[in-house]
Amino acid sequence: MAYNYLGLTNDVCRRLNEVELSASNFTSTTGFYSFAKDAVNSAIRHINQEEFEWPWNHVEETEVLTTGQTRYSFPYDAKTLNLNTFRIKRNNSLNVETRRVKNMVYEEWLDKYVDIEYNSDSSIRGVPSVVARTPSREFVLYPTPDKDYELVYEYYRLAHDLQNALDVPNLPEQYRYLIIDGAMHYVYQFRSDMQAAQLALQSFDKGLKNLRSLHVNRTDYVRDSRVHF
């Protein structure tokens, strides 16, 4: 069975000995089948909300800076930005090597560089070396770019619900079973089988714990994370 929205919904149907859906009738479902589709999305949503930084939600972004512009918006699907990953990308035509952009607390940025955003003097512009996250889902740089540099950074994206029959979840296929365990919890509730719903939830929670151990709970070594300016 293909690993997509249709395939996952049919996994739920098979566990309950229900007739499976096809691509032709997937969008016109009602009743139980509509709820089964909702249950698949609920399970995926639950998994993605369980941790902020699942590796399959990781994105490396490249943004071309605008000369003279200090403030930039987060990507539309960003959940969390890793401010410690910001760097200016090497560009021989702009005569710049790859270099880190150091993270600073926004209030400290305001204390030190508050005038830079409103100062149009081009002589104080340069290659950005400091970044701060604002309260408004934006980040600000210092100094203001004097050229259209490429800024590379990493973030974790928000997951989106599946909509079409062939939509593929962002989770790797090897965790298909976990999506189904979560979906079965919701489907059993729909059928008022609370005992089966509780057993499915226990299996789902155990799978989430294992998933977290594999992908999140790791400390390879301790490092000094203090930033010196």
Tell me: pLDDT of 34 over 80. yes
Report how far Cα 23 is from the mean position of its chain's Cα atoms. Answer: 29
Q: What is the pLDDT of residue 207?
A: 94
Q: Are strands 150-157 and 78-88 parallel, antiparallel or unpaired?
A: antiparallel
Q: Which amino acid is at 44?
A: I
- SS3 of 118, please? helix
Question: Are 208 and 45 in contact, with CB atoms under 8 Å apart?
Answer: no
Per-residue pLDDT at 228 = 59
pLDDT 10s digits, 193-220: 999 999 999 999 999 999 998 887 665 5
pLDDT for residue 223 is more than 70: no
3-state secondary structure of 88: strand
Helix (H) or strand (E) holding 178: helix 176-190
> Would you tell me how many other CB atoms lie within 10 Å of the CB of residue 165?
19
124, 148 contact by CB (below 8 A): no
User: What number is the average pLDDT over the span 5-23?
Assistant: 96
Name the one residue in this structure whose structure tokens are 């090497």: 90
Q: Which two tokens stand for residue 212?
A: 């977290």
More confident site: 178 or 220: 178
- Asked if 106 contacts 133 with a C-beta cutoff of 8 angstroms, the reply is yes
Q: Average pLDDT in the 12-23 region?
A: 95
* Residue percentage of the chain with pLDDT more than 90: 88
pLDDT at res. 93: 96
Q: Write out pLDDT tens, residues 140-169.
A: 999 999 999 999 999 999 989 999 999 999
pLDDT in tens, 94-136: 999 999 999 999 999 999 999 998 999 999 999 999 999 999 9
User: Does the CA dihedral 74-78-79-83 come out positive or negative?
Assistant: negative
